[in-house]
Structure 1
Amino acid sequence: MIEIICNDRLGKKIKVKCLPSDTIEDFKKILSLQIGTSFDKIILKKGYTIFKNHITLEDYEIHDGMNLELYYS
């Protein structure tokens, strides 16, 4: 189990626990339960990379303690 920190750049940081084998869509669903927003309105980025829903966290080399940027569409 890994813990990822999502920063919405408005002062809110959310810690999410998940498995490295989870897809980005699974991660968004867990995150949406914590923040109360629909998962399809969440966009996750790291730098200029926008993460696609069907790829796993392992494939994107997202590991424990990593920070992701959280945007809303």
Structure 2
Amino acid sequence: MIEVLANDRLGKKIKVKCLPEDSVGDLKKLIALQTGTSYEKIVLKKGYQVYKDHITLDDYEIHNGFNFELYYN
């Protein structure tokens, strides 16, 4: 299990525990459960890189304590 953080820069920081084998889409669904928004509207970024839903966290080399920037589409 790894724990990642998502910060929407509006004062909301979300901690999510997931597996490295989970896809980014699965992570968005876990974040949507905690925020109460639809997972289709969530966009995860880090700098200028937008993370695609079908790629696993392990393929992106996302590790324990990784910080995402959370945007709403």
TM-score norm. by structure 1 comes to 0.98
Aligned to 1:26: 26
Deviations, residues 9-50 of structure 1 (Å, cap 9, x unaligned): 101110000000000000000110010000000000011000
Question: How many Å apart are 1:68 and its aligned residue?
Answer: 0.4
Q: How many residues align?
A: 73
Over aligned residues, Cα RMSD in angstroms?
0.4
Distance (Å, rounded) in 1 between the aligned partners of 2:46 and 2:57: 12
- Seq. identity, %: 67
**Take 2:27 and 2:58, find their aligned partners in 1: how far apart are those partners?**
12
TM-score, normalising length from structure 2? 0.98
Question: What runs of 5+ residues in structure 2 fail to find an aligned partner?
Answer: none
Tell me, in whole angstroms, the C-alpha distance in 1 between the residues paired with 2:46 and 2:34: 20
Q: Where does the alignment leave 5 or more consecutive residues of structure 1 unmatched?
A: none
Q: Which amino acid aligns with 1:63?
A: H
